[in-house]
Amino acid sequence: MIYDLAILGGGPAGTSAASTASAYGARIVLIEKSRLGGQCLNTGCYPLTKLCLFSRQLVEMRKSFPNLTPSIKKEEEFLKLTHFVSATLVPTLSEMVRKSLADEKIDIVYGEAQFFSRNEVSVEGNDGWRTIRFRHAIICTGSVPNNDRFSNNNLVDNFGVLLEWEKLPRSVLLIECGFSEVELAFALNELGIDVTVIKLENSILSNEEGDIIDYLILFLQSRGIKFINDSQILDISRDKESKQVELLDRFDQHRLFSFDKIITSSRKPNYSNLDLPKIGVKIEDGLIQTNRKMQTSLDNIYAAGEVTGKSWSANIASEQGIVASLNCMGEETAMDYELIPKKILTYPEFAAVGLTTHTAKQSGRPFEIVDIPISSCAKAQIRENVLGLARFVLDPVEDTILGVHIVCPDASEVLTAMAFAIKSKIKVRDLLHFPFPHPTYCELIHHLATEKKRRLTKAILSTG
């Protein structure tokens, strides 16, 4: 039997690709080495989101019931949560993925794959080796922990270790400063852990709207989280029951810190066992090279997700999987990275979509900025949480939205409407007459249109 499509990896990219191709009546096989759902479902975004939501509840309870909060046994509740995630949530969601694939008539093969040719893979499973032939393939094998760049890397844990903790540590160091580190810093801090985040040079957050990220960082610092900027890790060692980290800061000063736990989300693409060079798939700087169709150097083999290094988030991996699958099915389509929504599930949240002021400047196009304080929303006043800001990057000539960057509770819920407005090039003036639900944070969009109308009227009046 020859499959129309073989998909290697059952994470967000692989399952999205499989589901997309199934609508075309294709014969599909999905090969998974261990558990369906990938790192995101099993040890990454899903467990972290559950922990963040729990910590957000602690924040809101502290605000609403200050006398009740001290009675909450945080360590006991944390252990209940991790047990629920490991014993119930992850198995349930993984089974939902398996059932969905089965309902779509997708064959699932468990085992480790290795390319034999550009149209064949050999899979080693519990029953030995088998050969699978295909017309097209999509590599979605994700990533694995990357602690190699640290001295004594056995002292550095990855995010999945949280599910194995039997008690809460007193102090934690988070290395890097990406979305996941900030989320975890917030969650652990609310559990009473002393949290420090090392922001290495060229961190992921450096690509976001600086003023808005600074706003969020200042809020988290006010909660007690410590951030160390632009430092280099020189050494990691053990000292009795703690772990010592030697840093070289931006002033070339050596600094020594002690922590109970050191955690990083650092990962690297996972393809070393696939034998890709043997069949001619091009790899540069440790990444599988693809075009915007997610096509590799071989025209019948595609790649999606973390193996491409274009992003490390599940929603982009899913979209890449869909794009790759559509191209395998004969549909011409390409990735658009400008309109991928991003969020940090802290309290308040950070959410963004579209161009930043920096990328707007680089594009050479005209732009303007409109900042709307969250306090202008009735919902913010009702929730007694008025700290926050929404920044809109606009095209003043076309009267359209280029980008949105928000810090406020539930900021990510505004993003879908924003992404649609950007994609559809809706005129800002037309948003003035759209009746947004009240009271919601979506009314920030109406406040934007009102502010633009005010500026325009003022400019007209000033010119006589």
Under DSSP, the state recorded for 408 is: E
pLDDT exceeds cutoff 70 at 6: yes
C-alpha dihedral sign at 194, 199, 204, 206? positive
- Is 102 in a helix, a strand, or coil? helix
Please report, for the chain, the start and end positions of each structural domain, with discontinuous segments joined by +. 2-145+268-336, 153-265, 348-462
Residues 6+ apart with CB under 8 A from 154: 147
Fold annotation for 153-265: FAD/NAD(P)-binding domain (3.50.50)
> Token pair of 442, please?
């979506």
The CATH code for residues 348-462 is 3.30.390.30
**pLDDT recorded at residue 415:** 86
Q: CA end-to-end span of the chain, whole Å?
A: 78
More confident residue, 251 or 191: 191
Domains 2-145+268-336 and 348-462 share a fold: no
- What is the pLDDT confidence band of residue 464, given thresholds at 50, 70 and 90? low
Q: What percent of the chain has pLDDT over 70?
A: 97
Under DSSP, the state recorded for 387 is: -
**pLDDT recorded at residue 141:** 96
The full DSSP string for 168-235 is --SEEEEES-SHHHHHHHHHHHHTT-EEEEEE-TT-GGGGS-HHHHHHHHHHHHHTT-EEEES-EEEE
Write down the pTM of the prediction.
0.90
**pLDDT recorded at residue 145:** 86
| Architecture of domain 2-145+268-336 in this structure | 3-Layer(bba) Sandwich (3.50)
pLDDT digits (tens, 9 = 90+) for 383-433: 888 889 999 999 999 999 999 999 998 898 888 888 889 999 999 999 988
Query: Span 34-50, mean pLDDT?
Result: 90
pLDDT digits (tens, 9 = 90+) for 254-265: 889 999 999 988
pLDDT digits (tens, 9 = 90+) for 346-390: 999 999 999 999 999 999 999 999 999 999 999 999 988 888 999
